């Protein structure tokens, strides 16, 4: 029986009930959910279909995939954050998602190196094989590319959406959340900046300061084949806390406090979707 239970715990959760039950029974570890668990929660909360605003995915490396984008914006629509912080603007693909799928009273901060990072190396000097196999080279390319290509996905934002967005240009390792009035005021943090252990550790510590006792932290590049530091960091954290991995994505989610409890209950108290 214990072996069967252990096997069941490892199976991806397919509906909000299964995730809720698992969370009640486990205070630590990584639980995988199917992306449709998020979509079922959306359906449970909304009688009519929910539109999403999304750009055609970037053909280059570095931005979230289409499935990750739909999972990320589903979480935004479920959490209804009043303030969002993103580490890693890059071309602005995920930034645009966060702005265009959040409420008009939500403010969004996104941080990248911007003009503070200068490189003499042309992007064409990077070999495709290196970018896909070496995490350090991949990170170096992303830092250079954001400076050279700029956040082009933000050019299509409406004036109203632009007015809700603050772009910070600095090394995240030197970020002081208090200097921007962010301590305990942010409901959702997307951690997708530098992928080395030092940066992930500092960004996550700042993410925790920003959410305080309630909020959601989402890491990108969990289970990445090249950014192993992110996976190690999240797995280590999961020895003490419960982390949700969204199947077929590189997204790992930590739910904290009231916002986390409310999120887990969506679709459980009054299911609006049909169980199939």
Ligand X SMILES: C[S@@+](CC[C@H](N)C(=O)[O-])C[C@H]1O[C@@H](n2cnc3c(N)ncnc32)[C@H](O)[C@@H]1O
Footprint on this chain of ligand X (rule: CB under 6 A): 62-64, 88, 90-91, 93-94, 111-113, 142-143, 146, 171-173, 192-194, 199
> Considering the complex, what minimum distance in angstroms separates the CB of residue 52 from ligand X?
16
- The smaller minimum CB distance to ligand X, of residues 113 and 246, is found at 113
Gyration radius from the chain CA atoms: 18
- The smaller minimum CB distance to ligand X, of residues 185 and 201, is found at 201
- The smaller minimum CB distance to ligand X, of residues 176 and 213, is found at 176
Residue 9, CA atoms < 13 Å, CB-side half-sphere:
16
> Considering the complex, what minimum distance in angstroms separates the CB of residue 25 from ligand X?
33
> Considering the complex, what minimum distance in angstroms separates the CB of residue 257 from ligand X?
25
> Considering the complex, what minimum distance in angstroms separates the CB of residue 129 from ligand X?
19
Residues β-bridged to residue 190: 86, 218
- The smaller minimum CB distance to ligand X, of residues 18 and 234, is found at 234
Cα(20)–Cα(116) distance, integer angstroms: 44
For the chain, the helix, strand and coil percentages under 3-state DSSP, each to the nearest 5: 45, 15, 40
How does DSSP assign 107-162, residue by residue? EEEEEE-GGG----S-GGGS-HHHHHH-HHHHHHHHHHHHHHH--GGGTTS-HHHH
> Considering the complex, what minimum distance in angstroms separates the CB of residue 152 from ligand X?
11
Cα(10)–Cα(116) distance, integer angstroms: 44
With CB atoms as reference, the residue minimizing the distance to ligand X is 194
> Considering the complex, what minimum distance in angstroms separates the CB of residue 127 from ligand X?
19
Cα(157)–Cα(97) distance, integer angstroms: 10
The packing angle between helices 257-265 and 66-79, to 10°, is 110
- The smaller minimum CB distance to ligand X, of residues 5 and 174, is found at 174
Residue 189, CA atoms < 13 Å, CB-side half-sphere:
28
- The smaller minimum CB distance to ligand X, of residues 117 and 265, is found at 117
């Amino acid at each position: 029986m214990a072996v069967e239970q252990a096997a069941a715990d490892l199976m991806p959760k397919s509906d909000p009930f299964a995730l809720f039950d698992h969370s009640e029974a486990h205070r630590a570890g990584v639980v995988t959910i199917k992306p449709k668990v998020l979509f079922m929660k959306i359906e449970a909360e909304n009688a009519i279909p929910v539109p999403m605003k999304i750009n055609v995915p970037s053909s280059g490396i570095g931005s979230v995939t289409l499935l990750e984008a739909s999972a990320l914006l589903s979480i935004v629509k479920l959490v209804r954050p009043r303030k969002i912080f993103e580490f890693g603007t890059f071309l602005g693909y995920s930034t645009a998602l966060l702005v265009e799928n959040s409420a008009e009273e939500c403010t969004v901060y996104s941080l990248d190196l911007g003009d503070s990072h200068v490189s003499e190396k042309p992007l064409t000097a990077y070999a495709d094989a290196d970018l896909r196999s070496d995490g350090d080279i991949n990170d170096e390319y992303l830092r250079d590319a954001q400076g050279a290509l700029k956040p082009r996905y933000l050019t299509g934002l409406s004036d109203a959406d632009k007015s809700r967005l603050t772009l910070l240009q600095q090394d995240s390792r030197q970020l002081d959340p208090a200097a921007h009035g962010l301590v305990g005021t942010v409901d959702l943090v997307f951690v997708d900046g530098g992928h080395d252990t030092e940066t992930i550790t500092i960004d996550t510590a700042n993410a925790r300061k920003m959410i305080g006792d309630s909020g959601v932290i989402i890491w990108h590049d969990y289970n990445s084949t090249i950014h192993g530091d992110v996976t190690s960091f999240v797995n280590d954290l999961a020895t003490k806390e419960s982390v949700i991995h969204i199947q077929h994505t590189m997204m790992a989610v930590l739910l904290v406090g009231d916002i986390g409890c409310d999120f887990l209950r969506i679709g459980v108290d009054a299911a609006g979707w049909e169980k199939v």
